[in-house]
Structure 1
Amino acid sequence: MNEWNDIAVIAPTTDIDLASVPRLREQVDALIDSGVRRILVNCQNVTFIDSTGLAFLLSRARALYGREGLLSLVNASPDVARFLQIARLIDILHVSTVERPAIPVIAPDVPPLWSKSFTIQRGVEHLAEYRHRAAELLGTLPLTREECFDVALAAGEALSNAYDHACGGEGGSMSVYAYPDRVIIEVRDCGCGYEIADGEEPAESLERGRGIKLMRMLVDSVEVRRRADAPGTQVRLIKLVG
Protein backbone atom coordinates (compact mmCIF):
# COMPACT_ATOMS: atom_id res chain seq x y z
CA MET A 1 0.00 0.00 0.00
CA ASN A 2 1.18 3.50 -0.82
CA GLU A 3 -0.27 6.62 0.76
CA TRP A 4 0.17 10.31 -0.02
CA ASN A 5 -1.68 12.77 2.23
CA ASP A 6 -5.35 11.97 1.56
CA ILE A 7 -4.69 9.58 -1.37
CA ALA A 8 -3.90 5.86 -1.04
CA VAL A 9 -3.23 2.99 -3.45
CA ILE A 10 -3.89 -0.58 -2.33
CA ALA A 11 -2.94 -3.63 -4.38
CA PRO A 12 -4.71 -6.87 -3.41
CA THR A 13 -2.46 -9.86 -4.05
CA THR A 14 -5.37 -12.19 -4.75
CA ASP A 15 -9.02 -12.21 -5.79
CA ILE A 16 -11.48 -9.95 -4.01
CA ASP A 17 -13.84 -12.55 -2.59
CA LEU A 18 -15.30 -14.02 0.59
CA ALA A 19 -11.83 -15.06 1.76
CA SER A 20 -10.02 -11.75 1.23
CA VAL A 21 -12.74 -9.19 2.00
CA PRO A 22 -12.34 -9.21 5.83
CA ARG A 23 -8.70 -8.15 5.59
CA LEU A 24 -9.39 -5.63 2.83
CA ARG A 25 -12.27 -4.19 4.85
CA GLU A 26 -9.96 -3.59 7.82
CA GLN A 27 -7.39 -1.95 5.56
CA VAL A 28 -9.83 0.33 3.72
CA ASP A 29 -11.77 1.29 6.86
CA ALA A 30 -8.51 2.24 8.59
CA LEU A 31 -7.64 4.46 5.63
CA ILE A 32 -11.04 6.15 5.62
CA ASP A 33 -10.92 6.70 9.40
CA SER A 34 -7.45 8.25 9.07
CA GLY A 35 -8.77 10.86 6.66
CA VAL A 36 -7.93 9.31 3.28
CA ARG A 37 -10.48 10.49 0.71
CA ARG A 38 -9.14 8.99 -2.52
CA ILE A 39 -8.48 5.24 -2.69
CA LEU A 40 -7.26 3.48 -5.82
CA VAL A 41 -7.52 -0.32 -5.89
CA ASN A 42 -4.86 -1.74 -8.21
CA CYS A 43 -6.44 -4.91 -9.66
CA GLN A 44 -3.32 -6.11 -11.47
CA ASN A 45 -3.36 -9.40 -9.49
CA VAL A 46 -7.16 -9.72 -9.25
CA THR A 47 -8.75 -12.25 -11.60
CA PHE A 48 -12.12 -12.50 -9.87
CA ILE A 49 -14.52 -10.43 -7.76
CA ASP A 50 -17.51 -12.21 -6.24
CA SER A 51 -20.70 -10.64 -4.88
CA THR A 52 -19.19 -10.30 -1.40
CA GLY A 53 -16.32 -8.34 -2.92
CA LEU A 54 -18.71 -6.26 -4.95
CA ALA A 55 -20.84 -5.42 -1.90
CA PHE A 56 -17.70 -4.41 0.00
CA LEU A 57 -16.46 -2.16 -2.81
CA LEU A 58 -19.89 -0.55 -3.25
CA SER A 59 -20.33 0.14 0.46
CA ARG A 60 -16.88 1.74 0.80
CA ALA A 61 -17.34 3.73 -2.40
CA ARG A 62 -20.56 5.10 -0.93
CA ALA A 63 -18.83 5.86 2.37
CA LEU A 64 -16.12 7.83 0.56
CA TYR A 65 -18.68 9.60 -1.62
CA GLY A 66 -20.48 10.74 1.53
CA ARG A 67 -17.20 12.34 2.63
CA GLU A 68 -16.61 13.92 -0.78
CA GLY A 69 -14.12 11.21 -1.65
CA LEU A 70 -13.75 8.57 -4.35
CA LEU A 71 -12.84 4.88 -4.70
CA SER A 72 -11.54 3.69 -8.08
CA LEU A 73 -10.42 0.37 -9.55
CA VAL A 74 -7.45 0.48 -11.92
CA ASN A 75 -5.67 -2.13 -14.07
CA ALA A 76 -8.80 -4.30 -14.17
CA SER A 77 -8.64 -7.32 -16.47
CA PRO A 78 -11.34 -7.86 -19.15
CA ASP A 79 -12.96 -10.54 -16.95
CA VAL A 80 -13.10 -8.26 -13.92
CA ALA A 81 -14.45 -5.45 -16.08
CA ARG A 82 -17.13 -7.82 -17.43
CA PHE A 83 -18.23 -8.73 -13.93
CA LEU A 84 -18.40 -5.10 -12.89
CA GLN A 85 -20.50 -4.35 -15.94
CA ILE A 86 -22.97 -7.11 -15.02
CA ALA A 87 -23.02 -6.10 -11.36
CA ARG A 88 -23.54 -2.42 -12.14
CA LEU A 89 -26.67 -3.36 -14.07
CA ILE A 90 -27.92 -5.33 -11.09
CA ASP A 91 -27.39 -2.53 -8.61
CA ILE A 92 -28.24 0.59 -10.57
CA LEU A 93 -30.85 -0.60 -13.06
CA HIS A 94 -32.29 -3.39 -10.88
CA VAL A 95 -32.21 -5.72 -13.86
CA SER A 96 -34.32 -8.85 -13.74
CA THR A 97 -33.58 -11.72 -16.05
CA VAL A 98 -35.64 -12.36 -19.16
CA GLU A 99 -37.80 -15.43 -18.66
CA ARG A 100 -36.06 -18.39 -20.26
CA PRO A 101 -37.69 -21.41 -21.87
CA ALA A 102 -37.97 -24.56 -19.78
CA ILE A 103 -34.84 -26.72 -19.63
CA PRO A 104 -35.38 -30.08 -21.38
CA VAL A 105 -35.43 -32.97 -18.93
CA ILE A 106 -32.65 -35.55 -19.23
CA ALA A 107 -33.86 -39.16 -19.24
CA PRO A 108 -32.76 -40.99 -16.06
CA ASP A 109 -30.91 -43.65 -18.08
CA VAL A 110 -28.75 -41.14 -20.01
CA PRO A 111 -25.29 -40.97 -18.42
CA PRO A 112 -23.07 -37.87 -18.60
CA LEU A 113 -20.18 -37.80 -21.04
CA TRP A 114 -17.97 -37.32 -18.00
CA SER A 115 -18.21 -36.11 -14.42
CA LYS A 116 -15.82 -34.83 -11.77
CA SER A 117 -16.47 -34.48 -8.05
CA PHE A 118 -14.49 -32.74 -5.32
CA THR A 119 -14.83 -32.76 -1.56
CA ILE A 120 -14.66 -29.20 -0.28
CA GLN A 121 -12.01 -28.70 2.37
CA ARG A 122 -12.73 -26.64 5.44
CA GLY A 123 -11.31 -23.12 5.27
CA VAL A 124 -12.34 -20.25 3.04
CA GLU A 125 -8.75 -19.97 1.78
CA HIS A 126 -9.57 -22.96 -0.49
CA LEU A 127 -12.38 -21.07 -2.25
CA ALA A 128 -10.29 -19.85 -5.18
CA GLU A 129 -8.84 -23.36 -5.70
CA TYR A 130 -12.25 -24.92 -6.35
CA ARG A 131 -13.40 -21.96 -8.41
CA HIS A 132 -10.36 -22.37 -10.67
CA ARG A 133 -10.94 -26.14 -10.91
CA ALA A 134 -14.45 -25.47 -12.18
CA ALA A 135 -13.09 -22.97 -14.72
CA GLU A 136 -10.52 -25.50 -16.00
CA LEU A 137 -13.20 -28.15 -16.54
CA LEU A 138 -15.50 -25.67 -18.29
CA GLY A 139 -12.64 -24.79 -20.61
CA THR A 140 -12.78 -28.32 -22.09
CA LEU A 141 -16.39 -27.84 -23.23
CA PRO A 142 -17.74 -26.21 -26.42
CA LEU A 143 -18.45 -22.91 -24.63
CA THR A 144 -17.21 -19.47 -25.59
CA ARG A 145 -14.69 -17.78 -23.35
CA GLU A 146 -17.42 -15.46 -22.08
CA GLU A 147 -19.74 -18.39 -21.34
CA CYS A 148 -16.97 -20.20 -19.45
CA PHE A 149 -16.33 -17.09 -17.38
CA ASP A 150 -20.04 -16.63 -16.63
CA VAL A 151 -20.53 -20.24 -15.50
CA ALA A 152 -17.35 -20.18 -13.42
CA LEU A 153 -18.56 -16.95 -11.81
CA ALA A 154 -21.90 -18.57 -10.96
CA ALA A 155 -20.10 -21.61 -9.52
CA GLY A 156 -17.94 -19.27 -7.45
CA GLU A 157 -21.06 -17.69 -5.99
CA ALA A 158 -22.46 -21.10 -5.05
CA LEU A 159 -19.14 -22.05 -3.44
CA SER A 160 -19.05 -18.75 -1.53
CA ASN A 161 -22.49 -19.55 -0.11
CA ALA A 162 -21.29 -23.00 0.98
CA TYR A 163 -18.35 -21.49 2.84
CA ASP A 164 -20.23 -18.50 4.19
CA HIS A 165 -23.32 -20.21 5.53
CA ALA A 166 -22.37 -23.79 6.35
CA CYS A 167 -19.50 -25.16 8.44
CA GLY A 168 -16.83 -23.16 6.66
CA GLY A 169 -17.18 -25.53 3.73
CA GLU A 170 -16.43 -28.68 5.72
CA GLY A 171 -18.38 -31.69 4.47
CA GLY A 172 -19.46 -29.97 1.27
CA SER A 173 -18.80 -31.04 -2.29
CA MET A 174 -18.79 -29.79 -5.87
CA SER A 175 -19.68 -31.97 -8.86
CA VAL A 176 -19.46 -31.11 -12.56
CA TYR A 177 -21.41 -33.15 -15.13
CA ALA A 178 -20.96 -32.74 -18.89
CA TYR A 179 -23.74 -33.78 -21.30
CA PRO A 180 -23.96 -33.21 -25.06
CA ASP A 181 -26.35 -30.28 -24.62
CA ARG A 182 -25.47 -28.90 -21.17
CA VAL A 183 -23.13 -28.71 -18.22
CA ILE A 184 -24.44 -29.13 -14.69
CA ILE A 185 -22.62 -27.96 -11.57
CA GLU A 186 -23.87 -29.01 -8.15
CA VAL A 187 -22.51 -27.48 -4.94
CA ARG A 188 -23.60 -29.07 -1.66
CA ASP A 189 -23.02 -27.88 1.90
CA CYS A 190 -23.74 -29.30 5.35
CA GLY A 191 -25.58 -26.34 6.85
CA CYS A 192 -29.12 -26.18 8.19
CA GLY A 193 -30.54 -26.21 4.68
CA TYR A 194 -32.81 -23.77 2.87
CA GLU A 195 -34.75 -23.47 -0.35
CA ILE A 196 -35.58 -20.68 -2.77
CA ALA A 197 -38.53 -21.30 -5.03
CA ASP A 198 -38.20 -20.73 -8.76
CA GLY A 199 -38.86 -17.06 -9.41
CA GLU A 200 -38.68 -16.14 -5.73
CA GLU A 201 -36.57 -13.09 -4.93
CA PRO A 202 -34.09 -13.88 -2.12
CA ALA A 203 -33.58 -11.41 0.70
CA GLU A 204 -30.73 -9.05 -0.15
CA SER A 205 -27.96 -7.81 2.11
CA LEU A 206 -25.55 -5.07 1.16
CA GLU A 207 -22.57 -6.81 2.77
CA ARG A 208 -23.38 -10.30 1.47
CA GLY A 209 -24.18 -9.11 -2.02
CA ARG A 210 -26.68 -10.47 -4.48
CA GLY A 211 -25.30 -13.91 -5.28
CA ILE A 212 -28.51 -15.75 -6.17
CA LYS A 213 -29.68 -12.96 -8.47
CA LEU A 214 -26.27 -12.88 -10.13
CA MET A 215 -26.28 -16.66 -10.67
CA ARG A 216 -29.67 -16.44 -12.34
CA MET A 217 -28.30 -13.90 -14.78
CA LEU A 218 -25.28 -16.01 -15.67
CA VAL A 219 -26.70 -19.51 -16.31
CA ASP A 220 -29.88 -21.00 -17.74
CA SER A 221 -31.22 -22.56 -14.54
CA VAL A 222 -30.54 -22.17 -10.82
CA GLU A 223 -32.08 -24.51 -8.25
CA VAL A 224 -31.59 -23.97 -4.51
CA ARG A 225 -32.97 -26.91 -2.56
CA ARG A 226 -32.55 -28.68 0.76
CA ARG A 227 -30.50 -31.82 0.33
CA ALA A 228 -32.42 -35.09 0.32
CA ASP A 229 -29.42 -37.20 1.36
CA ALA A 230 -28.15 -35.18 4.32
CA PRO A 231 -28.64 -31.89 6.18
CA GLY A 232 -27.66 -28.93 4.06
CA THR A 233 -28.38 -27.15 0.79
CA GLN A 234 -27.70 -28.08 -2.83
CA VAL A 235 -27.30 -25.40 -5.49
CA ARG A 236 -27.71 -26.81 -9.00
CA LEU A 237 -26.57 -24.73 -11.97
CA ILE A 238 -27.39 -25.64 -15.58
CA LYS A 239 -25.83 -24.02 -18.64
CA LEU A 240 -27.01 -25.20 -22.08
CA VAL A 241 -24.26 -25.85 -24.63
CA GLY A 242 -24.57 -24.82 -28.26
Structure 2
Amino acid sequence: MNEWNDIAVLVPVRDIDIASVPLLREQVDGLIDMGMRRIIINCQNVAFIDSTGLAFLLACARRLARGEGLLSLVNASANVIRFIQIARLIDVLHVRPAQKTALPVLSAGVLPKWNKTLSVTGGIECLGAYRHRVSELLATLPMTADARFDTALAAGEALSNAFDHAGGVGCSMTVQAYPDRVVIEVRDGGAGFELSADQEIEASEERGRGIKLMRMLVDSVDVSRRRDVPGTCVRLVKLIGAAAA
Protein backbone atom coordinates (compact mmCIF):
# COMPACT_ATOMS: atom_id res chain seq x y z
CA MET A 1 0.00 0.00 0.00
CA ASN A 2 1.29 3.46 -0.92
CA GLU A 3 0.01 6.77 0.46
CA TRP A 4 0.43 10.35 -0.78
CA ASN A 5 -1.24 12.92 1.47
CA ASP A 6 -4.94 12.06 1.05
CA ILE A 7 -4.44 9.47 -1.73
CA ALA A 8 -3.76 5.77 -1.15
CA VAL A 9 -3.07 2.86 -3.52
CA LEU A 10 -4.02 -0.70 -2.57
CA VAL A 11 -2.67 -3.69 -4.50
CA PRO A 12 -4.71 -6.86 -3.77
CA VAL A 13 -2.52 -9.94 -4.07
CA ARG A 14 -5.35 -12.04 -5.51
CA ASP A 15 -8.94 -11.92 -6.74
CA ILE A 16 -11.40 -9.61 -4.98
CA ASP A 17 -13.84 -12.13 -3.57
CA ILE A 18 -15.44 -13.46 -0.42
CA ALA A 19 -12.03 -14.65 0.80
CA SER A 20 -10.07 -11.43 0.31
CA VAL A 21 -12.77 -8.83 1.07
CA PRO A 22 -12.52 -8.89 4.90
CA LEU A 23 -8.87 -7.76 4.84
CA LEU A 24 -9.49 -5.24 2.05
CA ARG A 25 -12.46 -3.81 3.94
CA GLU A 26 -10.33 -3.44 7.07
CA GLN A 27 -7.65 -1.63 5.06
CA VAL A 28 -10.10 0.68 3.28
CA ASP A 29 -12.03 1.49 6.46
CA GLY A 30 -8.77 2.38 8.16
CA LEU A 31 -7.73 4.64 5.28
CA ILE A 32 -11.06 6.46 5.20
CA ASP A 33 -10.98 6.91 8.96
CA MET A 34 -7.52 8.46 8.53
CA GLY A 35 -8.98 11.01 6.14
CA MET A 36 -8.11 9.48 2.77
CA ARG A 37 -10.40 10.87 0.08
CA ARG A 38 -9.02 9.08 -2.95
CA ILE A 39 -8.36 5.34 -2.92
CA ILE A 40 -6.94 3.60 -5.97
CA ILE A 41 -7.11 -0.18 -6.24
CA ASN A 42 -4.44 -1.61 -8.52
CA CYS A 43 -5.94 -4.74 -10.08
CA GLN A 44 -2.73 -6.10 -11.59
CA ASN A 45 -3.16 -9.39 -9.65
CA VAL A 46 -6.96 -9.59 -9.97
CA ALA A 47 -8.47 -11.99 -12.50
CA PHE A 48 -11.97 -12.27 -11.02
CA ILE A 49 -14.29 -10.18 -8.85
CA ASP A 50 -17.30 -11.97 -7.36
CA SER A 51 -20.57 -10.57 -6.01
CA THR A 52 -19.07 -10.11 -2.53
CA GLY A 53 -16.26 -8.12 -4.12
CA LEU A 54 -18.79 -6.08 -6.07
CA ALA A 55 -20.74 -5.27 -2.90
CA PHE A 56 -17.53 -4.25 -1.17
CA LEU A 57 -16.46 -1.95 -4.01
CA LEU A 58 -19.90 -0.35 -4.23
CA ALA A 59 -20.01 0.25 -0.46
CA CYS A 60 -16.52 1.80 -0.52
CA ALA A 61 -17.38 4.01 -3.49
CA ARG A 62 -20.57 5.23 -1.81
CA ARG A 63 -18.81 5.94 1.49
CA LEU A 64 -16.04 7.90 -0.25
CA ALA A 65 -18.56 9.79 -2.39
CA ARG A 66 -20.40 10.96 0.73
CA GLY A 67 -17.17 12.71 1.73
CA GLU A 68 -16.57 14.00 -1.81
CA GLY A 69 -13.94 11.31 -2.32
CA LEU A 70 -13.42 8.79 -5.10
CA LEU A 71 -12.65 5.07 -5.52
CA SER A 72 -10.80 4.06 -8.69
CA LEU A 73 -9.69 0.75 -10.20
CA VAL A 74 -6.57 0.70 -12.38
CA ASN A 75 -4.69 -1.96 -14.35
CA ALA A 76 -7.93 -3.89 -14.77
CA SER A 77 -7.87 -6.80 -17.21
CA ALA A 78 -10.42 -7.15 -20.01
CA ASN A 79 -12.27 -9.76 -17.93
CA VAL A 80 -12.45 -7.51 -14.87
CA ILE A 81 -13.73 -4.65 -17.01
CA ARG A 82 -16.31 -7.01 -18.54
CA PHE A 83 -17.48 -8.00 -15.06
CA ILE A 84 -17.86 -4.38 -13.96
CA GLN A 85 -19.83 -3.61 -17.13
CA ILE A 86 -22.17 -6.52 -16.47
CA ALA A 87 -22.47 -6.28 -12.70
CA ARG A 88 -23.01 -2.53 -12.35
CA LEU A 89 -26.39 -3.00 -14.06
CA ILE A 90 -27.52 -5.09 -11.11
CA ASP A 91 -27.46 -2.05 -8.84
CA VAL A 92 -28.16 0.74 -11.34
CA LEU A 93 -31.22 -0.93 -12.84
CA HIS A 94 -33.72 -3.60 -11.86
CA VAL A 95 -32.34 -6.12 -14.30
CA ARG A 96 -34.01 -9.30 -15.41
CA PRO A 97 -32.28 -11.57 -17.90
CA ALA A 98 -33.71 -11.56 -21.40
CA GLN A 99 -36.40 -14.15 -21.91
CA LYS A 100 -34.57 -17.34 -22.76
CA THR A 101 -35.85 -20.16 -24.87
CA ALA A 102 -36.19 -23.51 -23.16
CA LEU A 103 -33.02 -25.53 -23.07
CA PRO A 104 -32.91 -28.22 -25.75
CA VAL A 105 -33.69 -31.61 -24.24
CA LEU A 106 -30.77 -34.00 -24.27
CA SER A 107 -31.48 -37.07 -26.33
CA ALA A 108 -31.95 -40.25 -24.35
CA GLY A 109 -28.70 -42.04 -23.78
CA VAL A 110 -26.44 -39.05 -24.48
CA LEU A 111 -23.48 -39.24 -22.15
CA PRO A 112 -21.07 -36.45 -21.26
CA LYS A 113 -17.85 -36.25 -23.28
CA TRP A 114 -16.08 -35.92 -19.96
CA ASN A 115 -16.99 -35.54 -16.34
CA LYS A 116 -14.69 -33.91 -13.80
CA THR A 117 -15.21 -33.72 -10.05
CA LEU A 118 -13.24 -31.00 -8.30
CA SER A 119 -12.14 -31.79 -4.79
CA VAL A 120 -13.34 -28.88 -2.65
CA THR A 121 -11.08 -29.46 0.32
CA GLY A 122 -9.81 -25.95 1.06
CA GLY A 123 -11.55 -22.95 2.56
CA ILE A 124 -12.75 -19.73 0.96
CA GLU A 125 -9.14 -18.74 0.34
CA CYS A 126 -9.11 -21.40 -2.43
CA LEU A 127 -12.08 -19.97 -4.36
CA GLY A 128 -9.81 -18.32 -6.91
CA ALA A 129 -8.09 -21.63 -7.63
CA TYR A 130 -11.44 -23.33 -8.28
CA ARG A 131 -12.56 -20.58 -10.68
CA HIS A 132 -9.30 -20.82 -12.58
CA ARG A 133 -9.56 -24.64 -12.70
CA VAL A 134 -13.06 -24.43 -14.20
CA SER A 135 -11.76 -21.96 -16.80
CA GLU A 136 -8.92 -24.34 -17.67
CA LEU A 137 -11.34 -27.23 -18.16
CA LEU A 138 -13.61 -25.14 -20.40
CA ALA A 139 -10.63 -24.13 -22.57
CA THR A 140 -10.84 -27.59 -24.17
CA LEU A 141 -14.35 -26.85 -25.49
CA PRO A 142 -15.57 -24.73 -28.45
CA MET A 143 -16.44 -21.74 -26.27
CA THR A 144 -15.48 -18.10 -26.68
CA ALA A 145 -13.21 -16.52 -24.09
CA ASP A 146 -16.17 -14.45 -22.83
CA ALA A 147 -18.34 -17.57 -22.45
CA ARG A 148 -15.58 -19.35 -20.51
CA PHE A 149 -15.12 -16.35 -18.23
CA ASP A 150 -18.88 -16.03 -17.62
CA THR A 151 -19.24 -19.73 -16.81
CA ALA A 152 -16.24 -19.82 -14.47
CA LEU A 153 -17.51 -16.70 -12.70
CA ALA A 154 -20.98 -18.24 -12.28
CA ALA A 155 -19.43 -21.44 -10.90
CA GLY A 156 -17.42 -19.34 -8.46
CA GLU A 157 -20.60 -17.56 -7.34
CA ALA A 158 -22.30 -20.90 -6.67
CA LEU A 159 -19.33 -22.16 -4.68
CA SER A 160 -19.05 -18.85 -2.82
CA ASN A 161 -22.70 -19.23 -1.76
CA ALA A 162 -21.96 -22.76 -0.55
CA PHE A 163 -19.14 -21.46 1.64
CA ASP A 164 -21.21 -18.50 2.81
CA HIS A 165 -24.41 -20.34 3.69
CA ALA A 166 -23.10 -23.80 4.60
CA GLY A 167 -19.66 -22.93 5.90
CA GLY A 168 -18.11 -25.12 3.21
CA VAL A 169 -19.56 -28.26 4.81
CA GLY A 170 -19.98 -31.10 2.32
CA CYS A 171 -19.04 -28.97 -0.69
CA SER A 172 -18.37 -30.55 -4.06
CA MET A 173 -18.31 -29.39 -7.67
CA THR A 174 -18.77 -31.43 -10.84
CA VAL A 175 -18.24 -30.20 -14.39
CA GLN A 176 -19.77 -32.18 -17.26
CA ALA A 177 -19.20 -31.45 -20.95
CA TYR A 178 -21.91 -32.55 -23.38
CA PRO A 179 -21.85 -31.99 -27.15
CA ASP A 180 -24.00 -28.84 -26.83
CA ARG A 181 -23.62 -27.69 -23.21
CA VAL A 182 -21.64 -27.55 -20.01
CA VAL A 183 -23.38 -28.60 -16.81
CA ILE A 184 -21.87 -27.57 -13.47
CA GLU A 185 -23.30 -28.72 -10.17
CA VAL A 186 -22.22 -27.30 -6.82
CA ARG A 187 -23.45 -29.11 -3.74
CA ASP A 188 -23.16 -28.35 -0.06
CA GLY A 189 -24.17 -30.00 3.20
CA GLY A 190 -25.99 -27.07 4.79
CA ALA A 191 -29.59 -26.68 5.88
CA GLY A 192 -30.87 -26.67 2.30
CA PHE A 193 -32.39 -23.94 0.17
CA GLU A 194 -34.71 -23.86 -2.83
CA LEU A 195 -35.51 -21.11 -5.30
CA SER A 196 -38.00 -21.17 -8.13
CA ALA A 197 -36.85 -20.10 -11.58
CA ASP A 198 -38.77 -16.80 -11.48
CA GLN A 199 -38.22 -15.99 -7.81
CA GLU A 200 -36.27 -12.81 -7.11
CA ILE A 201 -33.87 -12.24 -4.22
CA GLU A 202 -33.75 -8.77 -2.72
CA ALA A 203 -30.19 -7.48 -2.58
CA SER A 204 -28.90 -5.62 0.44
CA GLU A 205 -25.76 -3.52 0.40
CA GLU A 206 -23.65 -6.58 1.21
CA ARG A 207 -25.54 -9.61 -0.13
CA GLY A 208 -28.06 -10.93 -2.63
CA ARG A 209 -26.33 -10.26 -5.95
CA GLY A 210 -24.94 -13.76 -6.54
CA ILE A 211 -28.11 -15.38 -7.90
CA LYS A 212 -28.86 -12.37 -10.14
CA LEU A 213 -25.33 -12.51 -11.49
CA MET A 214 -25.47 -16.25 -12.18
CA ARG A 215 -28.74 -15.83 -14.06
CA MET A 216 -27.14 -13.19 -16.26
CA LEU A 217 -24.04 -15.26 -16.99
CA VAL A 218 -25.39 -18.72 -17.91
CA ASP A 219 -28.43 -20.14 -19.69
CA SER A 220 -30.05 -21.93 -16.76
CA VAL A 221 -29.73 -21.73 -12.97
CA ASP A 222 -31.53 -24.25 -10.78
CA VAL A 223 -31.32 -23.97 -6.99
CA SER A 224 -32.88 -26.88 -5.13
CA ARG A 225 -32.66 -28.92 -1.97
CA ARG A 226 -30.61 -32.07 -2.27
CA ARG A 227 -32.59 -35.27 -2.33
CA ASP A 228 -29.84 -37.56 -1.02
CA VAL A 229 -28.71 -35.66 2.09
CA PRO A 230 -29.45 -32.27 3.68
CA GLY A 231 -28.01 -29.43 1.64
CA THR A 232 -28.39 -27.42 -1.55
CA CYS A 233 -27.55 -28.20 -5.16
CA VAL A 234 -26.98 -25.35 -7.63
CA ARG A 235 -27.08 -26.55 -11.24
CA LEU A 236 -25.72 -24.26 -13.95
CA VAL A 237 -26.09 -24.89 -17.68
CA LYS A 238 -24.21 -23.00 -20.39
CA LEU A 239 -24.87 -23.84 -24.03
CA ILE A 240 -21.84 -24.09 -26.29
CA GLY A 241 -21.11 -24.12 -30.00
CA ALA A 242 -24.06 -23.84 -32.36
CA ALA A 243 -26.53 -24.34 -29.51
CA ALA A 244 -25.47 -21.05 -27.96
CA ALA A 245 -26.13 -19.02 -31.11
TM-score category, normalised to shorter length: over 0.9
Letter of the aligned partner of 1:186 in structure 2?
E
> Does the alignment pair 1:129 with 2:137?
no
Question: How is 1:114-125 mapped onto 2 (pairs within 5 angstroms)?
Answer: 114-125=114-125
Q: What is the deviation of 1:128?
A: 1.2
Provide TM-score, normalisation by structure 2.
0.96
Q: What is the deviation of 1:23?
A: 0.3
Structure 2 partner of 1:160: 160
For the residues of structure 2 that align with 1:132 and 1:109, how far apart are their CA atoms?
A: 31
Structure 2 partner of 1:230: 229
Structure 2 partner of 1:221: 220
For the residues of structure 1 that align with 2:213 and 2:95, how far apart are their CA atoms?
A: 10
Structure 1 partner of 2:192: 193
Letter of the aligned partner of 2:152 in structure 1?
A
For the residues of structure 2 that align with 1:224 and 1:206, how far apart are their CA atoms?
A: 22
Structure 1 partner of 2:43: 43
Which stretch shows the higher mean deviation, 14-23 or 205-214? 205-214
CA contact (8 A) 1:120 1:170 kept: no
Q: Number of residues paired by the alignment? A: 241
Q: What is the deviation of 1:104?
A: 1.9
CA RMSD of aligned residues (A): 1.1
**1:69-125 CA-partner distances (Å, limit 9, x unpaired):** 000001100000000000112211222111101112224532111100123114111
Provide TM-score, normalisation by structure 1.
0.97
Q: What runs of 5+ residues in structure 2 fail to find an aligned partner?
A: none
**1:2-22 CA-partner distances (Å, limit 9, x unpaired):** 111111111101000000000
CA contact (8 A) 1:100 1:220 kept: yes
Which stretch shows the higher mean deviation, 174-183 or 108-117? 108-117
Q: What runs of 5+ residues in structure 1 fail to find an aligned partner?
A: none
For the residues of structure 2 that align with 1:159 and 1:59, how far apart are their CA atoms?
A: 23
Question: How is 1:132-151 mapped onto 2 (pairs within 5 angstroms)?
Answer: 132-151=132-151
For the residues of structure 2 that align with 1:39 and 1:28, how far apart are their CA atoms?
A: 8
Deviating 4+ runs (over 3 angstroms): none
For the residues of structure 1 that align with 2:202 and 2:65, how far apart are their CA atoms?
A: 26
Q: What is the deviation of 1:201?
A: 0.3
CA contact (8 A) 1:52 1:207 kept: yes
Q: What is the deviation of 1:231?
A: 0.8
Instruction: Specify the SS of the correspondent of 1:111.
Output: coil
CA contact (8 A) 1:16 1:46 kept: yes
> Does the alignment pair 1:241 with 2:244?
no
Instruction: Specify the SS of the correspondent of 2:41.
Output: strand
Structure 2 partner of 1:29: 29
CA contact (8 A) 1:117 1:173 kept: yes
